[in-house]
Amino acid sequence: HVQLVESGGGSVQAGGSLRLSCAIPGYYVSIDCMAWFRQAPGKEREGVAAIYTGSDITYYADSVKGRFTISRDNAKNTLYLQMNSLKPEDTAMYYCAATTRWCGESSWKRVSHFDYWGQGTQVTVS
Tens of pLDDT, residue by residue over 86-111, are 999 999 999 999 999 999 999 999 99
In the three-class reduction of DSSP (H, G, I as helix; E, B as strand; rest coil), residue 16 is classed as: coil
For residues 3-14, average pLDDT: 95
- Check if the beta carbon of residue 35 is closer than 8 Å to that of residue 47: yes
Q: Which of 12, 6, 7, 1 has the alpha carbon at shortest distance from 67?
A: 12
Lowest-pLDDT choice from 50-54, 67-71, 72-76: 72-76
Between CA 125 and CA 100 the distance in angstroms is: 33
Write down how long the chain is: 126
